[in-house]
Chain A
Amino acid sequence: MSTRPAPRSSPTPLYIVCSPFRGVGKTLIARLLTEFHQIDGRPVAAFDLADEGPQLADYLPRLATVAEIGDTRGQMALFDRIIAGDGAVTVIDLSHRAFRSFFGVAQDIGFFEEARRHAIEPLVLFIATPDPKSARIYGVLRRALAHASLLPVRNKSEPRTGPDGDAVGAGFKPAPTSANAGNADAPMEALEIPLLDFPLRAQVDLPLFSFCEFWRGAAADLSDQSEDELLSWMEHAFFQFRGLELFLGCDDGSGRAAGPRSRCVAASGRARQREVRRPRADPAREVPLDASGNSILAMLKNAGGRLRVAESRVHELTAEVGIAESRAASAESWLQMLESEIVDKLTARTDVRPRADGRR
């Protein structure tokens, strides 16, 4: 009798968001992926292997489970649960500290191979950085992962991933390994997370912020323009995530809510969301003038924030210039001292040079 599980109509994706470095936006992408599926109304389970906050479980306490793979018991709690599965999409936010041990254990126990036997399609999303070590480690993973697809992530929302987030060079080639993956209809070179303005980034980094709630129309302390910007950013990311499912061959053609909707539909949706979000109970707030005023206020707030940041940076630069000037001045005085000393010594030597008859 075989213990092989019954095949499902289409495999369930397992996303492993990882990087051997910290501060490259792993948790942000894991959050987005998790909430993308939540918006879709699909069962999703997230595992948080981060060890410093704010972490995935802080943002998504109901969906994310903190996992620890330092001992066998922890490994069983994570890997056995994923393999047992229940058809839920799985997202793993893998800390840079657990990076090596995760892939080591996964390789030892044949995790990715077993996952595929259970109709789970693993995809390793590797956040690329300009560090040469990053490309080297990506290459090692590419060679080692025979039973999981690998895709680089160009995360432009994170300054540490390089100028404009464009760190994906020749060293980062996608490695689809699934029989269904990488088909001609869904070619993907990299997952691209677009740039997000600083104030918006600050907003989404707030522990209480939920992409899902925001998408569904919950109020956020943002101007209409900022909301549009954020929704557009999410839409771009979601479109990419939809592409990932096609890339993995996990698309069941159900045409989901957060899928690649046309921009027109999304834009009108946004307008509707704003209308829904504004409280109807307060008629005064429905006055367009007040709405405009609020919007202007929000913009001013944003501009004020940016101005303060710029101002403090100017102060820092001014201080640095002052330090550099004083160093230059002291260097100049040292040079003058040295010059006079050299002149003095040379003059003294000339005075004591022996005469041709040997007398001094």
Chain B
Amino acid sequence: MTKPAVVLIGADKGGVGKTTVARTLLDYFTHHQVRARAFDTEAPRGTLKRFHPELTRVVDINYVPDQMQIFDTVHSTEAAVSLIDVRAGLLSPTLRALRDIGFIDAAKRGQITFVVFHILGPSIASLDEIAETAAYLGDAKYLMVKNFINNTHFFEWDEATYGSYFKRVPGAVEMTVPKLVEMATEQVELASVPFATFVANRKQSGEPASYSFVLRGYVRHWLDQVWAEYERIGLLGTVEPRQAVRAAILRPRPVLEAAEAT
């Protein structure tokens, strides 16, 4: 049996694109036929649920029954990956709670694969988050994401300062999410569909849509770039080694082709 994986996506600041990254991850796992379920901690609204309603449940991460719903079922669920989109400001408290319930230790013992996507903001405060988060990570695969989708500029960071924070988390990997053309971002938001579905010109129901070809092209190009980053960091091999081997054997397909096939 495959070791279950828990993927946590968070930041202590809002508006840095956590849900966007979560959406690209769900598209990526779907494309690679990795069964995934998602938890949206933005209770009661749930932005992630709007885009991936069939895969997502809205939960309150501070509420013990909801915590049980997520973590007690990690081994029993059919999904190989449990993805948690952590609400802004709750990354450190969530990690603390995971430590308290023994989840971090379970990951250390190799019973669970634990991956943390820390979406960085443009300010120096965001670097302080790294230090705070590092204390709870254990053996998690820690990914620091510079997300440019919201036209964020990371120029405020002095390289030396950034490097000093980066070193605090051994084995940390940095990845980048490039900017997506604003109109394309807006149109996908309006359509309320996964990125891959938008590229395939479908509605949430699966019926053909009439999205702009140009915007679909921009989304496809962007999603290709994001997925290339996931390939680079070896995400598939981390969460589902069997699928990673299969994917390596199969010829890589462009997003458009992949989206049409689903």
**Smallest CB-CB separation from B184: which chain A residue?**
A72
Q: How far is the CA of A109 from the CA of B222 in the complex (A)?
A: 9
**Smallest CB-CB separation from B216: which chain A residue?**
A109
Asked whether A347 is an interface residue with its Cβ less than 8 Å from the other chain, the reply is no
Q: Could you say which residues of chain B place their CB within 8 Å of the CB of A73?
A: 183
Q: How far is the CA of A83 from the CA of B212 in the complex (A)?
A: 10
Asked whether A255 is an interface residue with its Cβ less than 8 Å from the other chain, the reply is no
Asked whether A1 is an interface residue with its Cβ less than 8 Å from the other chain, the reply is yes
Task: Give the contacting residue for A3; candidates B183, B208, B215, B221; CB below 8 A.
Answer: B208
Asked whether A131 is an interface residue with its Cβ less than 8 Å from the other chain, the reply is no
- Whether A110 and B184, one on each chain, are in contact in the complex, defined by CB atoms closer than 8 angstroms, is no
Asked whether A138 is an interface residue with its Cβ less than 8 Å from the other chain, the reply is no
Q: How far is the CA of A130 from the CA of B214 in the complex (A)?
A: 35
Output the least CB separation between A231 and chain B (Å).
Answer: 41
Q: How far is the CA of A108 from the CA of B214 in the complex (A)?
A: 9
Asked whether B206 is an interface residue with its Cβ less than 8 Å from the other chain, the reply is yes
Asked whether A2 is an interface residue with its Cβ less than 8 Å from the other chain, the reply is yes
**Smallest CB-CB separation from A1: which chain B residue?**
B208
Chain B binder among A40-48, A74-82, A189-197 = A74-82
Inter-chain residue pair count (beta carbon < 8 A): 50
- Whether B200 and A109, one on each chain, are in contact in the complex, defined by CB atoms closer than 8 angstroms, is no
Digitize B167-184: 1 where CB-to-A-CB distance is under 8 Å, 0 elsewhere: 000000000000001111
- Whether A114 and B208, one on each chain, are in contact in the complex, defined by CB atoms closer than 8 angstroms, is no
Q: How far is the CA of A109 from the CA of B213 in the complex (A)?
A: 8
**Smallest CB-CB separation from B183: which chain A residue?**
A72
Q: Could you say which residues of chain B place their CB within 8 Å of the CB of A108?
A: 217-218, 221
**Smallest CB-CB separation from A73: which chain B residue?**
B183
**Smallest CB-CB separation from B207: which chain A residue?**
A1
Asked whether B256 is an interface residue with its Cβ less than 8 Å from the other chain, the reply is yes
Digitize B187-212: 1 where CB-to-A-CB distance is under 8 Å, 0 elsewhere: 00000000000001110001110001
Q: Could you say which residues of chain A place their CB within 8 Å of the CB of B260?
A: 2-4
- Whether A109 and B201, one on each chain, are in contact in the complex, defined by CB atoms closer than 8 angstroms, is no
Q: Could you say which residues of chain A place their CB within 8 Å of the CB of B215?
A: 72, 76
CB-CB contacts below 8 Å: A78-111 with B? 79-80, 83-84, 108-111
Digitize B23-35: 1 where CB-to-A-CB distance is under 8 Å, 0 elsewhere: 0000000000000
Task: Give the contacting residue for A72; candidates B181, B201, B221; CB below 8 A.
Answer: B181
**Smallest CB-CB separation from B256: which chain A residue?**
A110
Q: Could you say which residues of chain B place their CB within 8 Å of the CB of A111?
A: 217
CB-CB contacts below 8 Å: A134-153 with B? none
Asked whether B37 is an interface residue with its Cβ less than 8 Å from the other chain, the reply is no
Q: How far is the CA of A76 from the CA of B183 in the complex (A)?
A: 10
**Smallest CB-CB separation from A83: which chain B residue?**
B213
**Smallest CB-CB separation from A106: which chain B residue?**
B217
Output the least CB separation between B47 and chain A (Å).
Answer: 23
- Whether A1 and B206, one on each chain, are in contact in the complex, defined by CB atoms closer than 8 angstroms, is yes
Q: How far is the CA of A76 from the CA of B208 in the complex (A)?
A: 19
Asked whether B49 is an interface residue with its Cβ less than 8 Å from the other chain, the reply is no
Q: Could you say which residues of chain A place their CB within 8 Å of the CB of B200?
A: 3
Q: List 22 A-B contacts (CB under 8 A).
A: A1-B206, A3-B200, A3-B202, A72-B215, A72-B218, A73-B183, A76-B183, A76-B212, A76-B214, A79-B213, A79-B214, A80-B212, A80-B213, A108-B221, A109-B217, A109-B218, A109-B220, A109-B221, A110-B217, A110-B256, A111-B217, A113-B256
Further contacts, 20 of them, CB under 8 A, given A1-B206, A83-B213, A111-B217: A1-B208, A3-B201, A3-B202, A72-B181, A72-B183, A72-B184, A72-B215, A76-B214, A76-B215, A79-B213, A79-B214, A84-B213, A109-B214, A109-B216, A109-B217, A109-B221, A110-B217, A110-B220, A110-B221, A114-B217
Give the interface of A toward B (CB within 8 A).
Answer: 1-4, 72-73, 75-76, 79-80, 83-84, 108-111, 113-114
Give the interface of B toward A (CB within 8 A).
Answer: 181-184, 200-202, 206-208, 212-218, 220-221, 254, 256, 260
